[in-house]
Each structure stands twice: as C-alpha cells, then as structure tokens.
C-alpha cells in the first residue's frame, strides 16, 4: 500500500508504456478492516493505522482498481 500510485499516475504510466484503450472497470474502496484480511498487515501496523489515520479516512485508505488496456497495435519493427 505504501508504494501504491494514484489512479491518475497509474494511467499515465500505462500511456507512457504504450498502452491504449485504457479503461478502469472497477473501483473498490479498501479500508483498514479490509487490510486486516491480509496476513501481511500485522496487528501492530493495523493498530498504528487506526491510531494515526483520521477516522473519516479509515474506510477508504486505498482503492482497488481493475484496469484493462491494449498495447498499441503499431509494430515498431
């Protein structure tokens, strides 16, 4: 999560890599309670998040997106 991009940055990087027809097909908010489903989030970090993140943000600290894109059909060769 700490390394995640914003959606805008993600799409920009896809475009720069040569992808076109980029569509965001799903957006699912992810809160601290969702993080708790992952064994990678230890109890101490979950406690830290609940302490430091304002209550109004705790239900959406990130957003899981599903994105589909196509590589440009132009063949540089």
Handedness of CA 52, 2, 9, 28 (dihedral sign): negative
Taking CB under 8 A as the rule, does residue 37 contact another protein? yes
Q: Which residue shows structure tokens 């997106």?
A: 65
Pick one of 18, 33, 47, 59: the residue that binds another protein (CB under 8 A). Answer: 18
Taking CB under 8 A as the rule, does residue 55 contact another protein? no
Q: How many residues bind another protein (CB under 8 A)?
A: 48
Is there a contact between 10 and 65 (Cβ–Cβ < 8 Å)?
Answer: yes
Contacts to another protein by CB under 8 A = 1-7, 9-10, 13-14, 16-19, 25-26, 28, 30, 35, 37-42, 44-45, 48-49, 52-53, 60-75
């Amino acid at each position: 999560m700490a390394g995640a991009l914003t959606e805008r940055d993600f799409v920009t990087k896809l475009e720069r890599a040569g992808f076109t027809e980029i569509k965001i097909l799903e957006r699912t908010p992810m809160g601290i309670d969702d993080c708790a489903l992952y064994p990678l989030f230890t109890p101490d970090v979950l406690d830290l998040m609940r302490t430091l993140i304002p209550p109004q943000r705790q239900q959406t600290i990130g957003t899981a997106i599903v994105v589909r894109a196509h590589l440009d059909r132009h063949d540089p060769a």
